[in-house]
Amino acid sequence: MGKPTKVTNSIRALRFAHGEMTQAELAERLGVTRQTVIAIEHGRYSPSLEMAFQIARVFGVPLDDVFQYPGTEE
């Protein structure tokens, strides 16, 4: 299945910071399934770029606040 991705994320923290938003609620807002949210949140695979942009938009933060690519900081 999905390669254990190098990209990490802060989705869980952002969900709780946004009114205890549930995974189901986030999934619905993104127009994807709950399983997709769970898989991304757990880092089982990294989302597509479009999905990443959408997630960042839901939380109203820049992309880099949601996803971290190790080694990006010089």
Point out which residues bind DNA (CB under 7 A): 1-3, 5, 15, 22-24, 31-36, 38-42, 45-48, 50-51
Closest CA to 15 of 31, 35, 29: 29
Local structure of residue 34 (DSSP, 8 states): H
Which of 70/74 has CB closer to DNA? 70
Which of 31/74 has CB closer to DNA? 31
Which of 34/57 has CB closer to a copy of itself? 57
Q: How far is CA 20 from CA 5, 6, 17, in A?
A: 26, 27, 7
Query: Rule CB under 8 A: which residues touch a copy of itself?
Result: 5-7, 46-54, 56-57, 62-64, 67, 69, 71-72
DSSP 6-46: S-EE-HHHHHHHTTS--HHHHHHHHTS-HHHHHHHHTTSSP
Binder of residue 8, out of a copy of itself, DNA, none (CB less than 5 to 8 A by kind): none
